[in-house]
Amino acid sequence: EQVEWFVDGVSYHVVRRTEVEGPWVFDRPFHLLLNVAVGGAFVGPPDQYTPFPTAMVVDWVRVYRLGS
């Protein structure tokens, strides 16, 4: 019924089925894609202060499925 992201054990963002326009795609099998995106609407385009190369360090990814 929802997808929730945590960073260091703190809830970062929640998207609920009822908030999504169109189909809820998580009712069928899917893949997780972890991506180091650079730029965009959140922080703006890269500039001379953007560190390159960059890296994503992931300790673990946990997926919970409630119910059957």
DSSP secondary structure code for residue 45 in this structure: S
Distances (CA, A) of 23 to 1, 18, 31, 41: 12, 10, 17, 25
pLDDT at 19: 95
Tens-place pLDDT, residues 25-59: 888 888 888 888 888 887 788 888 888 888 888 88
pTM across the whole model: 0.57
